[in-house]
Amino acid sequence: MSDDPSCTIGASLVVFLLGVAVGASVAILYAPSAGSDTRARLNDTASRLRERVADLGHEVAEKARGLRDRAAAHPADDPIIGADTSATPLEA
């Protein structure tokens, strides 16, 4: 994984949202209510989760485009792209 804090935050957010979805689904399934009510609540929860995941996907894609553009604009500032490759490796 990357050392980039935004990557870690994004991954943590995805895991958190999945945990919330699983927890809500289990709570709804074990709550005493009619089957039609339970299905309606599950559909509502699933719809909201799909919207959140889609929004998160758009945010991640936007950040990735920004990082790509920034790296393309300043390749010499990047520690990997701008690395000095003229140095010889150390011999053991």
Banded model confidence at residue 92, pLDDT cuts 50, 70, 90 = very low
Q: Looking at the predicted structure, is the pLDDT value of residue 56 above 60?
A: yes
Q: Looking at the predicted structure, is the pLDDT value of residue 1 above 50?
A: no
Token reading at 53: 């995941």
57 compared with 88, residue with greater pLDDT:
57
Domain locations along the chain: 5-74
Could you read off the pLDDT of 10-53 as tens digits, one per residue? 778 888 888 888 888 888 777 777 778 878 888 898 888 888 88
| The pLDDT value given to residue 59 | 87
Whole-angstrom CA distances from 25 to 35, 41, 44, 85 are 14, 9, 11, 53
